[in-house]
Structure formats: C-alpha cells, structure tokens
Amino acid sequence: MPSDQAFDPTRRQIVGGLASGAAAAAVAGPALGQQSSPSTSQTEGQGAAASAGNGSLLLLQKQDPTEQYPKPPFPEQPQEWPGLASEMEPRPDHGEESYLGSGRLTGRKALITGGDSGIGRAAAIAYAREGADVAINYLEAEESDAREVIELIEAEGRTAVAIPGDIREEPFCRELVESAVEQLGGLDILVNNAARQQWRSSITDISTEDFDATMKTNLYAMLWITQAAMPHLEAGASIINTASVVAYDPPEILLDYSMTKAAIVNFTKCLAKQVADQGIRVNAVAPGPFWTPLQPSGGQPQENVTTFGEETPMGRPGQPVELSGLYVLLASQESSYATGHVYSATGGRGGP
C-alpha cells in the first residue's frame, strides 16, 4: 500500500493547481496570463484548502507525478453498481482540498451528469471554485456522495442544484435539462459524463438487457440531454463529453463500453461541425485509467482492481482532480478556438 505521505493535504493542494495550470498551459498557452482574480466568495470558500499549506505559493512547486498519488496494490473492494466514492480505498481525490480556483468561469451555469463522484464530481468542484453555478445529476443510490458535492459547491457561495434520476429514460433526460435551466437561471456548460461500465469476458456473456442499459446510459442519454439543451445554449456555450482511452485501445473485457466511447468521439466531432456557426463549442476528454467507483462496482474484475493503473508508464491510476484542469479549460473562454477535439490524460499509454 502507498505511504501516508501520499495523502498529505499539502501535497494534494499542489496537485490541483498543477492539474489546472499544466493542462491549460499545454493547450491555451499565453491565455493563462489573462485569468481574473478570485472572487471574495471563492477566496472564503477555499479557506479549508489554503489552511492546509501556503495557498497558491505551493502551486509553483514541482514534484514527481509518479509519486503524487497512491499506487497499486489496492485491496479488493467489490461494490454494487453504480458504486460510491465514499466506500473506496484509498478514497479518490476529486479536488476537495486540492483544487484552487481563479474566477475563470465566473457567472457561468453548468449541468454535469454523473456529478456525484469520479470525474463528474471533480468537474463540479472545480467549476464552483472557478465561479460557476452547478447542477449535478446522479442516481438515487448515489445520494450520499451527491450530498457531499452539493455542500462543497455551496461552500463556494455558488448555487448548487441536485437532480437525481435515471438518464436511461428519455422523459427524465428532458426534464433534467429543463429543471437545471430553471433553477440555475440558464445554461452555459453541459458536461455529458455519466457512464455505465460492466466487464464481460466474452461477447456471448453480454445480455440484451446489459447491452441496452449501457447504450442508453452512455449514448442515448447524451443525445437526449444535448437535444434538450440546445435551445438554451447561446454563443459562447460549451459542451464537453467524457470519452475514454478505450475508444482507441479497447480492452477485450469491455466490448460494449468501448463501443460507446468510440461513438462519443464521433458524436463530438460531428456535433462540433453542426453548431460551430452558432458559436457553441463541442469537445471531449478521453481519460485513461482513473480511480473512480466505476471500477470496483463491476467495471473491472476484482483482481484487476488490485493492480489498476500499474500498466501505465506512471505506474498508477489517475485521480479525478487530475482532469479538473482540462474540464475547466474546455469550458472557459481560454479554449475559444478549440472545437471538435479530443483531449487525453492517460498516464502515458494510448489515447488520441
């Protein structure tokens, strides 16, 4: 198991800023110099994080990325799908203490599916700390994780909207968007992130029920939600879809899941062309192995969970906060010329 040092809050604080700054610098370059100063509510809301160390001064320090977070072996930890972050060991870092905002999304309104845990939770925390109001969708079984996210958003002085429900149902998808728009007072950022992943060793083991559930969660819902959102999105809006490295290098045990992630890449590229003349940008993020409830709740065999991420050059899985910078960048005006692109963070293995 990793040493206790991997969980030192001072170390984690550095990571949030590096994840945000490095990702933005790599793609946006000089635009970072145009960031606005944090609002008063943001500064106050970040008191817990700042108290862990010396605030933004620590963000300038460099460190070995292979040692920033826990490495395998991890304990077996089976959960019922969809799983809870609060029951994972080690618990994932979504930026609760490590992400510091700088006002890059002040006044924006965001809807994030799967915002209770994993990558969606990291995006929700980062968006709130960048000044956005945020609505999250999740399943009722994930309520305890979702409550934590809502509290973190509200701690930043932002509006937080919780909308539980099953996105496999078309009527709910459309109600989800309308409810988010009504409670947020508009919509500027849509993050299609929620996903279903269940491993099967053979194509003959994938039931029609399983296949249908994966397709509806990962693809149908994305279509329905985006359709419902379009009338509310104005020039300057951003749609961000969560794809995966498996769209490019599919594991043999994730046939149906990998199919959906490849489709998300094409959905992103095609929709970007459709809506560019409306001033709406569409991009995707293709993560590699990230430590989220998706894995122990049926996304991987338990023997794979214990070694998850060790095959990457980094030797570990990514933590959700390490994607925060990409999701913020793609939602912000700093990436104003980026549309139809897929950005990856894979620990050095595969991807676009």
**Residues recognised as catalytic:** 257
Please tell me the number of Cα atoms within 13 Å of 226 on its side-chain side. 25
As a dihedral over the C-alpha atoms of residue 108, residue 112, residue 117, residue 121, rounded to 10 degrees, the angle is: -20
Q: Distance of alpha carbon 208 from its chain centroid, rounded? A: 28
Contact call for residues 130 and 102 (beta carbons, < 8 A): yes
Q: Rounded to the nearest 5°, which phi and psi values hold at 44?
A: -65, -40
Please tell me the number of Cα atoms within 13 Å of 193 on its side-chain side. 31
**Which neighbouring-strand residues pair with 238?**
189, 281
Contact call for residues 287 and 92 (beta carbons, < 8 A): no
Contact call for residues 137 and 165 (beta carbons, < 8 A): yes
Residue 144, classed as helix, strand or coil, is: helix
Q: Distance between CA atoms of 294 and 297, rounded to whole angstroms?
A: 6
Q: Distance between CA atoms of 51 and 40, rounded to whole angstroms?
A: 16
Q: Distance between CA atoms of 268 and 284, rounded to whole angstroms?
A: 6
Give, to the nearest 10 degrees, the angle between helix 208-215 and helix 255-275.
30
Sign of the Cα torsion 124, 129, 135, 141 reads positive
